A and B are shown apart, each in its own frame.
Chain A
Amino acid sequence: MYDAKTLKYQKSHEWLAADGTVGISDHAQKEITDVVFVEPPKVGRKVKQGEACCVVESVKAAFDIYAPVSGEIVAANAEAAKNPALVNQEPFGKGWLFKIAASAPAESSALMSAADYEKFLSSEAGNGSH
């Protein structure tokens, strides 16, 4: 289980851990609710920062998951693909989605800290835009 406070976030609600693990935030899993399908990216695939590379689906809709940094996919969470409810139950733990070996680590400076992400969420809620 990752400590949410130590992770980096992007506006599309993915988190990135220092070891390259990627998942979706607690806010995102609550918004999506009832995850019934996870399609992680293929290991070995090269992705660019911001590229849609994974799909998470609820009963109602499909959500693209965007790579928080550029790099190569080095692991995909087969457990989450088998048991998608893990994404709701443990978004910062067993519900992780994939791991990425960053090719341009400097890119992560564009991501938000946990505190900035919290601020971003409250401003988003204020705008009522979700």
Chain B
Amino acid sequence: MSTGTVLRRTALHESHRRLGGRLVDFHGWELPVQYESILREHEAVRQRCGLFDVSHMGQVFVSGPDALAFLQKINANDIAKIGPGKAIYSHLPNPEGGVIDDVIVSCLRKDRYLVVVNAATADKDFAWFKTQAGKLDVALANKSDEYGMIAVQGPKAAALIELLAPAATQLPRFGALELELYGTPSIITRTGYTGEDGVEFIVPNHIVVRVWEDLLAQGRSFGVSPCGLGARDVLRLEAGYLLYGQDVDDEHSTYEANYGWVVKLDKGDFIGKPALARQKAEGVKRRLTGIKLLERGVPRAGAPVLVDGREAGKLCSATFSPSLQAGIGVGYLDQPALAAGTKVAVAIHGRDVPAEIVKVPFFSSPNLKKGA
């Protein structure tokens, strides 16, 4: 599908071409959906290690004496809980309780934070930040165009990172570290979007290719694979992570998305708190719910979910899960309290395929349970 607009390219564009990546338009970015095979890339991450170019993600630096006060105001999660060297997953609520974006906030120093935002929302977020900064003594810098980002994910990720950045292997889950790579100030966080152990390198554009090539070369003995967005989407859905714009957005709240643990109503005032407090007290009318097919078939986004023969909602993300060897999906169902095991159906190609309600995440990696 051509929109006539020129696609943006990451610093790794040539590397993707050379590796045979199948490049597609992803929110205006030309990125590989896969190299050889989504299934093999998925397996690499679950069994060994995968590399992802996630340079389309945005980076906003927040610094100054009021950096924490500002972040507390715009985040649903309690940013005061993280000190230097720690990161936290959070939602940016709008006044109605809807979600402007889902982000990872890293505390680099007491008065300096990094907010990693989604690609499609980076400009919207930054405009929102500027509006909300008001009289607070805070400096905002959108460095999305200057930084690239590489995710290294899988049970062998730590062993691979040890070869390139030994200091990063000491990071706990959701740890954040500022360090020099090739003489260039960089950031590594022990985060990811796959449900496996791993880190994300956040580095200036001019060293992205070197980091990528070194990870590929050093990772050969670990069976490392470059992985595309296709595998990433399957991995994150199995792990129960939200895809902003598809699973949650300005019209759907954190509670409705079943991510209530992100909202810290006891932390003080923040944007959207009254609306969220009301939702919590009254309960939600719809909830993002996981389903698993009980027969062969591949559910897709948009497929109706039938409860007692009546459409209770549509799937917003769905796929074949290689880990479960079954079709899985999440959708907002207007019966928010369905118990796991409840029998439902998904309409696929005009057939009602038997399915059941399951707890999300669909898959919890045995590799993660051990360490973290």
Contact = CB atoms under 8 A, between A and B. Distances in A.
Contacts of A59: 38-39, 230, 234, 298, 319-320, 322
Interface residues of A, number: 12
B297 A37 contact: yes
B94 interface: no
B298 A57 contact: yes
A36 B37 contact: no
A60 B33 contact: yes
Interface in B224-246: 230, 234
B57 to A, nearest CB: 21
Interface string A57-73: 11110100000000000
Contact of A34 (B38, B296, B297, B300): B38
A57 B296 CA distance: 11
Contacts of A57: 298, 320
Contacts of B322: 36, 59
Interface string A8-44: 0000000000000000000000000110110100000
Contacts of B300: 62
The main secondary structure of chain A at its interface with chain B is strand
B298 A34 contact: no
A8 B27 CA distance: 40
A59 B36 CA distance: 13
Contact of B349 (A55, A60, A81): A55
B67 to A, nearest CB: 41
Contacts of A37: 296-298, 320
Contact of B230 (A36, A55, A60): A60
Contacts of A36: 39, 298, 320, 322
B34 interface: yes
Contacts, number: 35
A84 to B, nearest CB: 9
Contacts of B319: 59
Nearest to A57: B298
Given A36-B320, A55-B349, A60 B38 contact: yes
A39 to B, nearest CB: 8
Contacts of A81: 296
A95 to B, nearest CB: 15
Contacts of A55: 349
A39 B297 CA distance: 9
Which of the listed residues B37, B38, B298, B320 has the most CB atoms from chain A within 10 Å of its own CB?
B298
A46 to B, nearest CB: 19
Nearest to B320: A36
Interface string B20-44: 0000000000000110111100000
Contacts of A34: 37-39
Interface in A78-105: 81
Interface in B318-361: 319-320, 322, 349
B319 to A, nearest CB: 6
Which of the listed residues A36, A57, A62, A81 has the most CB atoms from chain B within 10 Å of its own CB?
A36
A57 B349 CA distance: 12
Nearest to A61: B300
Given A36-B320, A57-B320, A62 B38 contact: no
Contacts of B230: 59-60
A62 B298 CA distance: 8
Contacts of B298: 36-37, 57, 59, 62
A76 B298 CA distance: 20
Interface string B287-317: 0000000001110100000000000000000
A30 to B, nearest CB: 10
Which of the listed residues A34, A55, A58, A81 has the most CB atoms from chain B within 10 Å of its own CB?
A34
18 contacts: A33-B34, A33-B36, A34-B37, A36-B39, A36-B298, A37-B296, A37-B298, A37-B320, A39-B349, A57-B320, A59-B230, A59-B298, A59-B320, A59-B322, A62-B298, A62-B300, A62-B349, A81-B296
Listed from nearest, the 4 A-B pairs whose CB atoms lie closest are A36-B320, A59-B38, A34-B39, A57-B298
Interface of B: 33-34, 36-39, 230, 234, 296-298, 300, 319-320, 322, 349
Given A59-B298, A62-B349, 10 more contacts: A33-B37, A34-B39, A36-B320, A37-B296, A37-B297, A37-B298, A39-B349, A58-B38, A60-B33, A62-B300
